[in-house]
Amino acid sequence: MTALAERAPVRTRDRRRRRNDTRAALAFLTPSAAGLTVFILFPSVLAIATSLFHWPTYGDITFAGLDNYAELFSARSDFGPALLNTVVFTLLIVPINLVLTVGVAFWVASSRFRQLYRVLFFIPVVTPSVATAIIWKLLYQPDGVLSWVAGMFGATPPNFLASPSSALLSVVVVILWNGFGYNMLIFSAAIDQLPEDVLAAASLDGAGRWRTMFQMKLPLMTPAIFFATTVTLIQSFQIFNEPYVMTAGGPGTSTITVVMNVYQTAFQSGQLGEAAAPAIVLFVLILVVTLVQWTGQKKWVQYE
C-alpha cells in the first residue's frame, strides 16, 4: 500500500470518526457530568456563598460579607489551633507513612508468604475508622495494655489521650496504623512490576544492595510514590473520625482539626455560615499544596 494513495481517505475517515466520537463522548459523559455538576460543582459554589452569610440552622439568614473569615482569627475561635494541629498531623503522618510503607513493602516482597502479608497488613484499611478508634481507645486506657507494657520496661506511661503532650502523637499512631496497608499495597504492586532484567543486569555489574535500592528501584517507583504522597496528603488534611471518636478534640484544643471545627460549628453550634469559612480555607490550602506538588513532580518523578 502506498502512503500517498491512503492519505486522503484516512484524513476524511479520521474527521468523520472524530465527529462520531464527539457525539458518542457527549452521550457517555452525560451521567457523570450531570452528577458532577449537581453534587460537586454547584455545592462548591454554594459553599462559597454560604461562607458570606450568617446562616443559622434555625433562624434568619443575613449577609455577613467577610465577617465569618475575620471571626476565624478571633481569640475564642478554635480555628487557629485546629489549623495548626491539622498541619502538624500532616507533617508527621505523610513522611512517616511513606518511609515505613515503602520499607515494609520491600521487606514483605522478600518473603515467601508475600501475598498473605499484603492481606494481613491491609486489614486495618478495611476496618471502619470508628471501630479502629474504639480498638485503640481500649489499648490506650490508663492501666490498659500499652501502659502495662511501658510499665514492664520500667517507664512511667503517660495518660496517653488525657495529657496534652501525648494526645496528638497517640492519635497519629492510630492514623498511621489505619492507613498503612493502603500505601503498602500500592508499593507492592510497583515492586512486582520492577523490570527483572534491568535489576539482574545491575547486580551482575556488581551494584550493591543499597545502591540498587536507591539508584535503581526507588527511582523506578517514583510515580507510585508520587501518587501515594498526593493521596496521603489530601487525606491528612481531612482528618476527623479518629480524633472525634478518641479524644473529642481534647485535651484542651490539642487534637481538634479543621474538619472537626467545621463539623462542630455547623452541626453542634448550628452556624452554617461560620462553618463554611474554615472549610473554604481548608480547600484553598489543599489546592495550593497539591499544585505545588504537581509542579514539583517533574523534578523527581521519573515517567518512562
Partner 1 sequence: MHKQDADITVKLTQTPFADYFTKLQSQLAAGTTACIVSMQSLRLPAFKDALEPLGPLMKKAGFDESQWNPGALKALQVDGQQYAIPYGLSTMLLYYNKDAFAKAGVPAPTNDWTTSDFESAAAKITAVDGKPAFGQSFSDLHMFSMLFAYNGARPVTDAAKLDLTNSPMEQAFTWYSGLATKEKVSSIPASSSDVPWGEQQFVAGNVAMAVDGDWNISSDATQAAFPVGVVALPQGPNGGGTYSANSGFGIAKSCQNKEAAAKAIAIITSESAQVEQAKAGTHPARLAADDAFFQALATATDKKSPGYAAQAKAAMEAASAKSVPFISTSSWDQTTKLIAREFILAYSGSESADTALQNVQQSSK
Partner 2 sequence: MRIGRRTARSANEVALALVALLFLFPVIFTITSSFKPNNEIFQSPPSLWGSEFRWQNYVEVFQNAPFLQYIINGIIQSVGGTLIVLAVSALAAYAFGILRWRGRDQSMLAYLATMMIPQEVLVIPMFLLMQKFGWINTWQALILPWAFGAFGTFLLRQFFSTLPYELVEASRMDGCSNWRTFMKIILPLARPSLAVLAVWTFITYWNSFLWPLIAVNDIHALGNVPLGLQTFFGEHGASWNLIIAASVISIAPTLLLLLLLQKHLVKGIATVGLAGR
Residues in touch with partner 1 (CB under 8 A): 57-58, 75-76, 78, 137, 140-143, 159-164, 167, 244-253, 256, 264, 267-270
Q: Which one-letter amino acid corresponds to residue 224?
A: A
Nearer to partner 1, 76 or 209 (CB): 76
- Long-range residue pairs from 46-49, CB within 8 A, at least 24 positions apart, any chain: 47/276, 47/279, 47/280, 48/276, 48/280
Candidates 81, 50, 84, 44; CA nearest to 67 is: 50
Which of these ranges, 69-77, 90-98, 209-217, 230-238, lies near partner 2 under the rule CB under 8 A?
230-238
Candidates 92, 100, 96, 140; CA nearest to 245 is: 140
State the Cα–Cα distance between residues 52 and 67, nearest whole angstrom: 7
Nearer to partner 2, 5 or 40 (CB): 40
**Is position 158 an interface residue for partner 2 (rule: CB under 8 A)?**
no
Which of these ranges, 79-87, 119-127, 160-168, 199-207, lies near partner 2 under the rule CB under 8 A?
119-127
The listed partner (partner 1, partner 2, none) that binds 22, CB under 5 to 8 Å by sort, is partner 2
The listed partner (partner 1, partner 2, none) that binds 162, CB under 5 to 8 Å by sort, is partner 1
Task: Identify the residue among 97, 101, 129, 254 touching partner 2 (CB under 8 A).
Answer: 129
Candidates 242, 239, 246; CA nearest to 137 is: 246
Nearer to partner 2, 124 or 249 (CB): 124
Which cell goes with 288?
495550593
Question: Which residues in the 6-65 window bind partner 2 by CB under 8 A?
Answer: 17-18, 21-22, 24-25, 28-29, 31-33, 35-36, 38-44, 46-47, 50
Task: Identify the residue among 166, 212, 238, 253 touching partner 2 (CB under 8 A).
Answer: 238
- Long-range residue pairs from 93-96, CB within 8 A, at least 24 positions apart, any chain: 93/172, 93/175, 93/176, 93/179, 93/232, 93/236, 94/229, 94/232, 94/233, 94/236, 96/172, 96/176
The listed partner (partner 1, partner 2, none) that binds 203, CB under 5 to 8 Å by sort, is none
**Is position 201 an interface residue for partner 2 (rule: CB under 8 A)?**
no
**Is position 145 an interface residue for partner 2 (rule: CB under 8 A)?**
yes
Nearer to partner 1, 171 or 301 (CB): 171
Asked whether the beta carbons of 250 and 167 are under 8 A apart, the reply is: yes
3-state helix, strand, coil in the chain (%, to 5): 75, 0, 25
Q: Which residue has the cell 489551633?
A: 81
To partner 1, the closest distance from the beta carbon of 253 in angstroms equals 7
Nearer to partner 2, 164 or 193 (CB): 193
Candidates 52, 49, 77, 55; CA nearest to 67 is: 52
Strand partners, 53: 63
Nearer to partner 1, 141 or 230 (CB): 141
